[in-house]
Amino acid sequence: MDIQKIRTDFPVLQKKWNGKYPIYLDNACMTLKPRQVVAAMDEYYTEYPVCGGRSLHKMAKMVDEKVTASRETFRKFLGAREPEEIVFTRNTTEGLNLVANSLDFKKGDIVITTDREHNSNLIPWQVQAEKKGIRHIVVHSAPDNTFDMEKFGEMMSKNVRLVSMVHTANLDGYTIPAKEIIKIAHDHGALVMLDGAQSAPHKPMDVKALDVDFFAFSVHKMLGPTGMGVLYGKHHLLEELAPFIVGGDTVSDSTYESAKFLPTPEKFEAGLQNYAGIIGSGVAVDYIEKIGRENIENHEEKLNRIITDGIKDIPGLKIIGPEEPGLRGGIVSFTVELPKGGDAHDIAIVLDETANIAVRSGAFCVHSWFNYRKCGAAVRASLYLYNTEDEAKKFVDVLGKTIGLFA
C-alpha cells in the first residue's frame, strides 16, 4: 500500500484547518471520500440526471446500466451468488429493520444478540418484542472480552428463530467467530443475520463461505456516499420476506383492490432511488478492491499496535475490549478517570482544538453496554486505509499531553 499516494485522492486531507492538516481518526463513524467517488456522482448529476427503472430514453437507459453494474460490483464484493441478492438501502439500520419487520416472527420466537450491539441491532428487537411477543436474549461476553461460545451454545434451542449479531463491533473493533456461530445456529434451525457495518469495509468477506443468511452494511463507512447501504440475503429467503416499504417501483401492476409485487430486489427498493449514491457506491467498492481488503486489515492492525503500545500504560486510561490489538482491528476505544475531573468529551475537544485530531467521544450508539457496566463515556480512535504511522504516533503523543492537563 502506497499510503502517501492514496492520500492524494482525498481532497479533505489536503486542506488545513487553523494552519494544520487534519488527522482523521473517526472512520468507524464515517470514512472520507476519494475524488473518484465524487466524480462519479457528479457525472450522474451533470450528464444523465434522470430516473432509472421507468423511462425508455437514452439517459434513463444509462442510469439503468450504471445501477445494474453497481449491483454486480457489490455481488462480487460480498461473494454472493446472484445480483438479485443485493438490495440497496439507505444504511445498515434500514437493512436490519427490513429483516426485523419482514421476517414472519411468531409469539415466543427467540432472537439472540451480543452485548456489543449498536442500537440499530438492539432496538428493532425490543420493538418486535412489544409488537409480536418475540423474546430477545443477549449473550454476554467472556471475561477476556471475547465471544462466549459456551454460553451461546447453551442458549440455542428449536425456539431460536434468528441469531442477529454485530460482526465487528464499533465499540472495540472485536470480530465475533461468525463461521462457528452460523454453523451452530443452522444446526438448530435458526437463521443468522450479521451487522457488517464495521467488517465489510475492513476485511475480506465471502457470504457464501460464511453461509450467512442476511448481511447488512453502510457504504458511508467504506469511502462511499451518505444515505447508501446494502442488505445481502439468500435469494430464497428474500423471496419469502414480505415487502417492508411499498409503493412505486415495488409492483408490476395494481388495481383499486390489489397489487402484484415485483421479485427481489425490486420489491424492497421502493420509490425513486439514490442513483448518484448507487453509482458512487460502486466506485467506492472498486477503489477498495484495488487496494485489497487484506492489505487494509493488516495496515489497520499495525497502526492499532502503535497506538495500543503507546497508551496502554497511561494512568487513568483503560482500553475497552480484548488486550490483544490484533483482536480489535482498526479501533482503539478507552475510558478515562482523571483526578481533575476531565472526561472523554473534554479529551476529544482538546485533541481537536490543539492538533486537529478528530476522534469520537460518547457511547457510540452502544448505550446498553455502557449502562450495563455503569460506565461513563469513552474516546474512540478508529483507523482506515489513508491513516499513517506518523498520525498514529502523533495521536499517542498529543493524547498523553492532553491527559496530563487533567492529571
For residue 143, the 8-state DSSP code is: T
CB 197 within 8 A of CB 92: yes
Verify that 284 and 296 share a domain, yes or no: no
Q: Are residues 91 and 232 in the same domain?
A: yes
Are 297 and 283 found together in one domain? no
Query: 269 and 310: one domain?
Result: no
Q: Does residue 16 form part of some domain?
A: yes
Q: Is residue 113 part of a domain?
A: yes
Q: Are residues 384 and 257 both part of a single domain? A: no
pLDDT tens over the chain, length 407 residues:
899 999 999 999 999 998 999 999 999 999 999 999 999 999 999 999 999 988 999 999 999 999 999 999 999 999 999 999 999 999 999 999 999 999 999 999 999 999 999 999 999 999 999 999 999 999 999 999 999 999 999 999 999 999 999 999 999 999 999 999 999 999 999 999 999 999 999 999 999 999 999 999 999 999 999 999 999 999 999 999 999 999 999 999 999 999 999 999 999 999 999 999 999 999 999 999 999 999 999 999 999 999 999 999 999 999 999 999 999 999 999 999 988 888 999 999 999 999 999 999 999 999 999 999 999 999 999 999 999 999 999 999 999 999 999 87
Indicate the residue among 290, 308, 336 that finishes a domain.
290
Contact 36, 287 (CB under 8 A): yes
CA nearest neighbour of 108 among 173, 160, 56, 45: 160
Q: Give the pLDDT confidence score for residue 53 in this predicted structure.
A: 87
**What φ, ψ does residue 173 adopt, rounded to 5°?**
80, 5
Q: Which of 264, 290, 316 is the last residue of a domain?
A: 290
Residue 339, pLDDT score: 82
Regarding whether 92 and 74 lie in a shared domain, the answer is: yes
Q: How far apart are CA 317 and CA 334, in angstroms?
A: 6
Does the residue 43 lie in any domain? no
Domain match, 261 and 367 both = no
Of the candidates 340, 344, 329, the residue with the CA atom closest to the CA atom of residue 380:
344
Q: Are residues 360 and 284 in the same domain?
A: no
Beta strands in 115-247 (DSSP E): 135-139, 160-166, 191-195, 214-218, 229-233
- In-domain check, residue 122: yes
What is the distance between the alpha carbons of residues 203 and 294, in angstroms, rounded to a whole number?
6
pLDDT reported for residue 18: 87
Extract the C-alpha cell encoding 141: 461476553
Written as one letter, the residue type at 5 is K
Examine the domain organization and report whether 175 and 278 are in the same domain.
yes
Q: Is the dihedral of CA 315, 318, 324, 328 positive or negative?
A: negative
Query: What's the longest Cα–Cα distance across the chain?
Result: 71
**How many distinct structural domains can be found in the chain?**
2
Rounded to an integer, what distance in angstroms lies between the CA atom of residue 37 and that of residue 150? 44
Q: In this structure, what C-alpha cell is assigned to residue 257? A: 383492490
Exactly one of 29, 51, 365, 375 is catalytic; name it.
365
- 3-state SS string over 321-352? CCCCHHHCCCEEEEEECCCCCCCHHHHHHHHH
Range of the domain at 394: 3-26+292-406
Whether 222 and 322 map to the same domain: the answer is: no
Which CATH number covers residue 362?
3.90.1150.10
Residue 139 located in a structural domain? yes
User: For the chain, what is the radius of gyration of the CA atoms?
Assistant: 22
Domain-embedded: residue 157: yes
The verdict on residue 40 lying in a domain is no
Do 19 and 96 lie in a common domain?
no
Evaluate whether residue 382 is within a structural domain.
Answer: yes
What does the alpha-carbon distance between residue 169 and residue 348 come to, in Å, rounded to a whole number? 21
Q: What does the alpha-carbon distance between residue 152 and residue 169 come to, in Å, rounded to a whole number?
A: 17
Task: With beta carbons less than 8 A apart as the criterion, state whether 200 and 229 touch.
Answer: no
Residues 281 and 317 in one domain: no
Q: Is 365 a catalytic residue?
A: yes
Instruction: Please state, in angstroms and rounded to a whole number, the distance separating the CA atoms of residues 226 and 242.
Output: 26
User: Looking at residue 195, which CATH number applies to its domain?
Assistant: 3.40.640.10
Among 261, 290, 319, where does a domain finish? 290
